[in-house]
Amino acid sequence: MSSTTSSAHGAQGTPRAAGSIVDDGVEDVPSFEATGGDWSEIAEEAARLGEERIVVNMGPQHPSTHGVLRLMLEIDGETVTEARCGIGYLHTGIEKNMEYRTWSQGPTFCTRMDYLASFFQETAFCLGVERLLGIADDVPERATVIRVLMMELNRISSHLVCLATGGNELGATTIMTTGFTAREEILKIFELVTGLRMNHAYVRPGGVVQDIPPGALDTIREALGTMRGYIRELEDLMLGNPIYKGRTVGVGHLSLAGCMALGITGPVLRSAGLPYDLRKADPYCGYETYDFDVPTSTDADSFSRTVLRIEECYQSMRIVEQALDRLQAIGPGPVMVADKKIAWPAQLAIGSDGMGNSLDHIRTIMGTSMEALIHHFKIVTEGFRVPAGQVFQAVEHPRGVLGAHLVSDGGTRPYRAHFRDPSFNNLQGVSLMCEGGQVADVVVAVAALDPVLGGVDR
């Protein structure tokens, strides 16, 4: 954290405008010096007004453990008079990179955007691709239920990180350790099903990469009981704690009108009283057939968002239990569309070394079917073609509405892939939530928004 008063200087104290030509002794070869535009503009304005204003630069070194977010705060004593967000420090170029990869490789990129909610990005992308291909109704029921199962477990794990880090930022280390211990139960399930704890690329166009392994249903049921105990403990540590309530009640207030004006969704919007949830408002993956509630509040403050996220964890557990019952009733079956011109090889089993494909599958495609070998090679290296067109597919992400806008020119790669990440929109509320409050409350407000900069800086 650093601060500055009303002064504006270029490099080594020399005032220079951004992009000005500097005489460096070389004829006809101008050089340009680029300076920090946003910071210098604030300082220049302070100098012009002849006032002494203090501008505190919070970040971008993880000011609230939500990623490399930069907060530029203008303060008067301990009161925040102006708050601005600076983003772009984690830029990955994922959306641009997806234009140079096949449609099947797309999930391996978008899963890494918001790294706490990988399955939602994978599912939004794949649902969009399936609509472009015209195979949305051909995805096996078992694959759809598995998608719901993994997304709801992912919603719980994401909320647990929000609650854990939010408590830690206020000095309550026990909240952090309890939250992350509970999340560990879910990461074990992810590793059991997908082979990875994060960045799974498990959901693919047409279904999922492979079926859940034997015994996984019982393992998940046992884990749900353990997680319930941890979440009840979090309730006691947070909702019944007078110190926590003193730091969060009435802090970071954002009204329904403010949410609507800024396009803010998710728990922040529902804390202002609007029960908007895409799983109810515009169902996908058969969510209309599941029994669950959408919790809301009218307090519109940081404490109410904590209450809602805990309640959403319980609602997600209800959905997970229903998904487990359906998978048990459905029984073994396909988890990928039958069209082999599209289907990613989903019948593969892991080899004896814990990696690669099973020896039985390799023996089949290499020893008995030349056509299968050729097709396997082409579908993995070249991919399938998607008819020209565009689609926008939205899902209910832990932080709000996540939208995937996909454009195809008829080739094997996306012409354009763009995501409407909820953290990007939600960050617009920082100024409304923080201005007029105390510097210490800025951390509380940002924690209540739960932004993940991996999704913002795509």
Per-residue pLDDT tens for 343-385? 876 555 555 555 555 666 666 666 666 777 777 778 888 888 8
Peptide bond into 60 cis (omega under 30): yes
Which pLDDT belongs to residue 335?
87
Domains of the chain, first to last:
2-23+31-86 (no CATH), 94-342+384-456 (1.10.645.10)
Side-chain half-sphere exposure of 456, counting CA atoms within 13 A: 23
Q: Please state, in angstroms and as integers, the Cα–Cα distance from residue 11 to each residue in 8, 17, 35, 38, 104, following that order.
A: 10, 11, 8, 15, 48
Q: How confident is the model at residue 284 (pLDDT cuts 50, 70, 90)?
A: very high
Cβ atoms of 56 and 69 within 8 Å: the answer is no
**Phi and psi based region of residue 381 (left: phi greater than 0; alpha: psi -120 to 50; beta: remaining):** alpha
- In this predicted structure, the answer to whether residue 26 has a pLDDT above a threshold of 70 is no
Query: For 51-87, what is each residue's pLDDT tens digit?
Result: 667 888 877 665 445 668 888 888 887 888 888 888 8
Q: Can you tell me the distance from the alpha carbon of 95 to that of 247, in angstroms, rounded to the nearest whole number?
A: 38
Which pLDDT belongs to residue 33?
57
Lowest mean pLDDT among 147-161, 300-314, 335-349, 424-438: 335-349
- In this predicted structure, the answer to whether residue 240 has a pLDDT above a threshold of 90 is no
Which pLDDT belongs to residue 418?
93
Lowest mean pLDDT among 47-61, 150-164, 278-292: 47-61
Q: Can you tell me the distance from the alpha carbon of 36 to that of 332, in angstroms, rounded to the nearest whole number?
A: 59
Which pLDDT belongs to residue 131?
92
Q: What angle do CA 376, 202, 132 make, to 5 degrees?
A: 75
Q: Can you tell me the distance from the alpha carbon of 262 to that of 208, in angstroms, rounded to the nearest whole number?
A: 35
Which pLDDT belongs to residue 16?
38
- In this predicted structure, the answer to whether residue 8 has a pLDDT above a threshold of 50 is no
Of residues 43 and 416, more confidence is placed in 416
Q: Can you tell me the distance from the alpha carbon of 141 to that of 285, in angstroms, rounded to the nearest whole number?
A: 9
**Percentage of residues in the chain with pLDDT exceeding 90?**
33
Which pLDDT belongs to residue 313?
93
- In this predicted structure, the answer to whether residue 115 has a pLDDT above a threshold of 80 is yes
Which pLDDT belongs to residue 270?
92
What is the pTM assigned to this prediction?
0.82
Query: For 286-333, what is each residue's pLDDT tens digit?
Result: 999 999 999 998 888 889 999 999 999 999 999 999 999 999 998 888
- In this predicted structure, the answer to whether residue 153 has a pLDDT above a threshold of 90 is yes
**Phi and psi based region of residue 321 (left: phi greater than 0; alpha: psi -120 to 50; beta: remaining):** alpha
Which pLDDT belongs to residue 370?
74
**Percentage of residues in the chain with pLDDT exceeding 70?**
82
Which pLDDT belongs to residue 65?
54
Averaged confidence pLDDT in the chain: 82
Of residues 369 and 156, more confidence is placed in 156
Which pLDDT belongs to residue 62?
57
Q: Looking at beta carbons, which pairs linking 354-362 to residues 24 or more positions away fall under 8 Å?
A: none
Strands 2-4, 54-58: pairing kind: antiparallel
Q: Can you tell me the distance from the alpha carbon of 420 to that of 114, in angstroms, rounded to the nearest whole number?
A: 12
Of residues 77 and 406, more confidence is placed in 406
Furthest C-alpha separation in the chain:
83
Which pLDDT belongs to residue 50?
61
Q: Can you tell me the distance from the alpha carbon of 139 to that of 167, in angstroms, rounded to the nearest whole number?
A: 41
- In this predicted structure, the answer to whether residue 437 has a pLDDT above a threshold of 60 is yes
Lowest mean pLDDT among 51-55, 121-125, 177-181, 388-392: 51-55
Mean pLDDT of 266-280: 91
Query: For 89-98, what is each residue's pLDDT tens digit?
Result: 888 889 999 9
Q: Please state, in angstroms and as integers, the Cα–Cα distance from residue 81 to each residue in 73, 338, 424, 442, 449, following that order.
A: 8, 60, 22, 12, 20
Which pLDDT belongs to residue 300?
87
